[in-house]
Each structure stands twice: as C-alpha cells, then as structure tokens.
Amino acid sequence: MTATMRPFHPSDLPGMYRVCLLTGAAGQDATPLYRDPDLLAHLYCGPYPVADPGLSLVVVDAGEIAGYVVATADTAAFDAWCERAWWPALRARYPLGDDPGDGTEDHVLVERIHHPTPSPEPPDAPAHLHIDLLPRLQGQGWGRRLIEGLSDALRARDVPGVHLGVDARNTRAIAFYEHLGFRRDETFAWGRRLVLDLR
C-alpha cells in the first residue's frame, strides 16, 4: 500500500500521539521515558490541530498515521490560546510532582504544563512547526512534502517565515532541514532554532 498525504481529521489525533511518542527522543522511540504515553504529544502535537486544524497535515501508511506536521501561524497568539484553552484541563489532570528517580521524565513535562516558558520567536518567522515521521517513511521525500504543504498554507496567509526547534543531538534532522532551506538562527541549551523564509 502506498503512503499518502492529506489534511488533518480529528480522528487522526490518537495516531499522531503515537508517532510523537515513537519519535520523541531526538528522533528515537521515547516510550521508555514516559509512564504516561500521551504526555509528550499533549505539549508538542495535540494543541496545534485543535487550535488551527488548517495547518496540520498527516501521512497515512498501511492504514495508520505514520507522520505529520503541525503548526501555528502566530506563536504569540498560540501561546495565549494554550494558556486560555489547553493548559487548564491538563493542569487539573497532571498535578506537579517530584522526580521519582526511576529514569522517567513525566515530571519534566508536567512542570512545563504548569509553567510554560514563552516560545522564543524570531521577528521574521512568527510561525512555528513540529514534524515527525516514523523511521520506515524517512528518506522517501515525505518530510519535504509535509514542509512544502505547510509552507504553501502559511504563504496563503501571508506569513513571512516559520521556525522550529531541534535537539542538538538530532544531527540527521538538522541536516535535513538545512537541505530544505532552513537557516540556523540561534542556539539554546536544548538545541537549535532554525528558520525558513517564506517570501
């Protein structure tokens, strides 16, 4: 069966959450890191298609979600929306807790839910994205197609640029983004911010 790319549908969310977890450790499977398998996607996948479904695309392979791109056209407005509409229910569901000392990182993400830091935003790239593909579809052009599809949607809204953050350990992903035309913008403790100009 040939993989296909299409717009997001609300029924895609469980599959997208699964892909987020399976690629969430600098591109590797993050399942051993989290007791709650949904936590990672609650931060880095779920709110985007809920806030703005028109900026989410999925790749379907063998009848299941195997990749996606999610985005917001306006990072500051998205952060405000999350504070109003996304974080409150999650804060009630996930109380703050200490590190259990077992190697899991749920407490780190719960801390971010309760105390999110504003997303650093370059002035020429107010949009930002997250993209994930299962290993079996990597290297086949799907990442490029997802980025191009999203870029077209952002240009239609007259957005000048889009940025993303990459774990510094994920050198393969950094090389991929640079090959697509992203430029290195800034380095942080967690990794690098890359920018794609859309004009």
133-143: pLDDT as tens digits:
999 999 899 99
Judged against a pLDDT cut of 90, whether residue 16 lies above it is answered with yes
CA distance 130 to 55: 11
CA distance 154 to 174: 21
What pLDDT score was predicted for residue 117?
A: 86
CA distance 82 to 90: 10
The secondary element (H helix, E strand) that includes residue 44 is helix 39-44
What pLDDT score was predicted for residue 163?
A: 97
* φ, ψ dihedrals at 49, nearest 5°: -70, -25
Tens digits of residue pLDDT in 30-88: 999 999 999 999 999 999 999 999 999 999 999 999 999 999 999 999 999 999 999 99
| β-strand partners of 197 | 161
Q: What is the largest CA-CA distance in the chain?
A: 48
Judged against a pLDDT cut of 70, whether residue 1 lies above it is answered with no
Which strands, in side-by-side order, build the sheet including 4-7? Answer: 4-7, 57-61, 64-72, 127-133, 161-167, 191-197, 183-187
Query: Are the C-beta atoms of 172 and 28 separated by less than 8 Å?
Result: no
- What single letter denotes the amino acid at residue 65? I
> Whole-structure pTM over 0.85, yes or no?
yes
Instruction: Provide the H-helix boundaries in 52-195.
Output: 75-81, 87-93, 106-114, 142-156, 171-179
